Chains A and B, each alone.
Chain A
Amino acid sequence: MKFLFNLSFRYKIPLWGGLLIVVTSLAVSLALIAQAYDDLQVDVLNSSANLSRILAKTLFPAMLQEEVWRSFEIIRAPLHGKATDNPIQPEMILVLDQEQNVYVSSNPVLVPMLAKLPQLGEDFSRLSQLIASRPETDAPITDYSSTQRIYIATPIAEEGMRLGTLVLIHSNDVFLPRFRNVAWRSAFSGLLILAVLLPLNWYWGLRMAAPLIELAKGVRDVSHGEIEYPHAVTYPYRDELGQLFETYGLMLKALQEKRLLEQEMVRSERLAAIGRLSAGIAHEINNPLGGMLVALDNFKRRGGHDERSLKTMAMIERGLTQIRDTVSAILVEARVKGRNLAAQDLEDVQMLLTGEAHKRSVMMEIDNALVAPVSLPATLMRQVLMNLLLNAIHASEPAGKVRCAMRFADNQLMIEVENAGRTIPVEVMTHLFEPFVSGDETGHGLGLWVTYQIVSQLGGQITAKSGDGLTRFEVFLPVGVAT
């Protein structure tokens, strides 16, 4: 039984609905049939009672004059034709005398004249007692106690003189064909209703179940950590299910944001850790490096060295200088104070990069909305712009387009750089702002690291989005009052 309740709503709703419809139409059909049966019985009893009164009235003079034949004719008159055609027609009619002997019967072969009523069978014996128990009644007595027959006993009496009793016998068998007819009709209309309602119910059930099933699947996916937002299935109505869908959507959205935030935090922390590590290493390297360079300088200034030594020293100095350059490139020092960023700086950068762009047949589109200088170090910002634009030019296809926008609003500087061209692969995207990660073979992979370090140290944010052949970097920097 539990199996039934464990079924999917896809089956459960149509099944229960169908069951309900079947039970309802069955109940209605049965009620109709029962009503028809009752009506038929009432009809029969009423008409039978009327017939009894008329026959009893006609029989009285015939019996008074001991006219057996006439009595026989009277009770046989209503029995013409086949009883099955007319359920109201009695099966048999008896006339009893005062001693409850059969005076005459419509079927003398079955119930002969002068037969004693109580000896004719169990039903008749009970009927005899019933008649004897109510000798004074004028109205017909009806006996239903037999399952096969209904007996209606009417006194044959005038002005208090009772000559006998008229008994009309109806067979229940006669009801059956009529009853079957009604039953068939009810059953047919029931089937018709079912034929219309069941497919409707099935359709409705599926409609009801489909969003529930989708929702259940979605929740199961979420529990497995698969968050797909926005959800593929929507529900357009504002009922409880609609509210559920809405809440589910909100939940998905919150989960999605939380996940993105977590990813972002993890990345920031990683970048910060890398930054701290690299800064630490850079400082540790820089201190002895400085000493070594000073010592080399002193060594050279002393003079009197042979050619071979000087050559070796020069080689060591070049190597140490390369180390210092690399280390200082990693160690971004944003605390350098200088002049403020002005609109001119972007134009300068554009000028500087024109040659490179021209070489690659890339068109640059600059949208410079900066009016007044903003309180950001111009040197660092130029480096940021330079790095982003250079990356964009390199990533562009030939004859591609690079767009750069810079605007200042709400105490925030916003820089957008976008280019059409190769999409950044996902694995690169994850470690995009880490040092020595490069999109191509030409760069050393420090450009974006430096950019990230500058932006972070200035308290800003940098994000990258890449997809559908478009790569876009956005930089947001909080700006104090220009000095």
Chain B
Amino acid sequence: MKRLVLYLVLLMVAGLAWSASEPLETERPLRIGLTPTFPNDQYRPLEAWRLYMERKLHRRVEFVQRNKYIDTIDLLSLKKLDFAWICDYPYVYFKKQLRLLATPVYNGRPYYRSYLIVPATDTTTTSLAQLKDKVFAFTDPYSNTGYLAPRFALHQAGEEPKHFFRKTFFAWSHRRVLEAVASGLAHGGAVSNHVWETLSIGKSELTSATRIVSTSDEYGFAPIVARDTVSDTDFEVMRQLLLGMATDPEGKLLLKELNLDGFVAGDPQIYLRVEQVMRQLDGK
């Protein structure tokens, strides 16, 4: 009986302590969505990046990983996310709901390209046109380098993307497209040059099992966006953080892990080309 009373007392004290700690959480954490537009399975550097942000912002930061771009876009529009690193194509597509925060700088410029890759064992293919009636791996229906760009290439070659390949499938990340092509599951695939090059540093066995057939034109690099309802303060603080990384020793190290040179303030002008491509394909 005595023991039961003791338990009850302990429970009450614990309850009080819990309710007391609740008001201490003054601010809501910043939630940042990550997509496979960059090698988002580098968990150790990502955690370091998150902790870096928390230290700089004096605020809790949460990274939210989704495989599909559309899921991240949904979370943004549902205000479950404040920022997200998405592809340039969904940014252009959902421009009205989003604010362009920053664009990564790669090889000194805020641009990237699409690589057309085939298995390394395929030594004959020299152009996309030779992959007719083959199995082709796309990244994501909202990916530029992994979907829009190769389809546009076909369109330019006068082919109908819908019926050109025998079978296509989405692997839902650049890395998996690489794997699909490397393993021979797909006879060809399209990936971002940034992902390919980054993986060629850490996972050269994967990239060396593929061969780059052709390279697309430049597109504005996959941007970091904010939902349009995010506060100006948060927007500005976040932009300063990203832009300042290149001048900060710790930030530099993180950028090196991400295989980037830095971030620049987003300029919608560099994404005009995606918009043109989109319009041309849709217009058809």
Residues of A within 8 A of B (CB): 66-69, 72, 104, 107-109, 112-114
Contacts and interface: CB of A to CB of B under 8 A. Distances in A.
A108 B184 contact: yes
Contacts of A107: 184
A351 to B, nearest CB: 132
B38 interface: no
A114 B167 contact: yes
B256 interface: no
Nearest to A71: B169
Given A72-B185, A104-B185, A108-B185, A113 B167 contact: yes
A109 B184 CA distance: 5
Contacts of B166: 114
Interface string B115-130: 0000001000000000
A69 B184 contact: no
Given A67-B169, A68-B169, 15 more contacts: A69-B137, A69-B172, A69-B180, A69-B185, A72-B180, A72-B183, A104-B185, A107-B184, A108-B183, A108-B184, A108-B185, A112-B135, A112-B184, A113-B185, A114-B166
A69 B183 contact: no
Contacts of B169: 66-69
A2 B183 CA distance: 69
Contacts of A72: 180, 183, 185
B52 interface: no
A112 B186 CA distance: 9
Interface in B161-177: 166-167, 169-172, 176
B82 to A, nearest CB: 30
Contacts of A67: 169
Interface residues of B, number: 15
A85 to B, nearest CB: 21
Nearest to B135: A113
Nearest to A110: B184
Contacts of B185: 68-69, 72, 104, 108, 113
Contacts of B180: 69, 72
Nearest to A103: B167
A24 to B, nearest CB: 53
A109 B135 CA distance: 12
Nearest to A104: B185
What does DSSP make chain A's interface, helix, strand, loop or mixed? loop
Nearest to B172: A69
B171 A69 contact: yes
Interface string B176-196: 100010011110000000000
A477 B180 CA distance: 128
B135 A69 contact: no
A142 to B, nearest CB: 27
A69 B174 CA distance: 12
Nearest to A69: B171
For the complex of A and B, the 8 pairs showing the least CB-CB separation, nearest first, are A68-B169, A109-B184, A69-B171, A108-B185, A108-B184, A113-B135, A72-B185, A69-B176
Contacts of B167: 68, 113-114
B187 to A, nearest CB: 8
Interface in B128-180: 135, 137, 166-167, 169-172, 176, 180
Contacts of A68: 167, 169, 171, 185
A67 B168 CA distance: 11
26 contacts: A67-B169, A68-B167, A68-B169, A68-B171, A68-B185, A69-B137, A69-B169, A69-B171, A69-B176, A69-B180, A69-B185, A72-B180, A72-B183, A104-B185, A107-B184, A108-B183, A108-B185, A108-B186, A109-B121, A109-B183, A109-B184, A113-B167, A113-B185, A114-B135, A114-B166, A114-B167
A81 B258 CA distance: 30
Contacts of A66: 169
A68 B185 CA distance: 9
Contacts of B172: 69
Nearest to A105: B185
A65 B142 CA distance: 18
B109 to A, nearest CB: 31
Contacts of B183: 72, 108-109
A68 B171 CA distance: 8
Interface in B63-82: none
A52 to B, nearest CB: 21
Most A-side CB within 10 Å, residue of B137, B169, B171:
B169
Contacts of B137: 69
A69 B183 CA distance: 12
A437 B16 CA distance: 146
B206 to A, nearest CB: 14
A109 B171 CA distance: 18
Nearest to A109: B184
Contacts of A109: 121, 183-184
A439 to B, nearest CB: 118
Contacts of B121: 109
A67 B121 CA distance: 25
Which one of A68, A107, A114 has the highest number of Cβ atoms from chain B below 10 Å of its Cβ? A68
Contacts of B170: 69
Interface string B234-261: 0000000000000000000000000000
A279 B135 CA distance: 141
Contacts of A112: 135, 184
A21 to B, nearest CB: 56
